[in-house]
Amino acid sequence: MAERRPDRPVPPMGGTVAIGAVVHLPATVIEEGRDLSSMSGILADITYRLLPA
């Protein structure tokens, strides 16, 4: 995220939606029987990008 946008605040449900998405990704991988270690980079990247939000 290059710059913060104070004129566009995160909606109240934004955090809940973001957390739900991060939880949903590994759950889907597990349900599909795939190796969860393949998600480590993706999960780290998503978490890093969501922290400033």
Looking at residues 19-36, what average pLDDT do you find?
A: 86
Provide CB contacts within 8 A for 22, sequence distance 6+.
Answer: 43, 46, 47, 50
Q: What is the pTM of this model?
A: 0.51
Give residue 23's pLDDT: 84
* pLDDT over threshold 80, residue 29: yes
The residues spanned by each domain of the chain are 14-50
Return mean pLDDT, the chain: 77
Cβ-contact 52, 10 below 8 angstroms = no
CA angle 13, 10, 15 (to 5 degrees): 40
Mean pLDDT of 1-22: 73
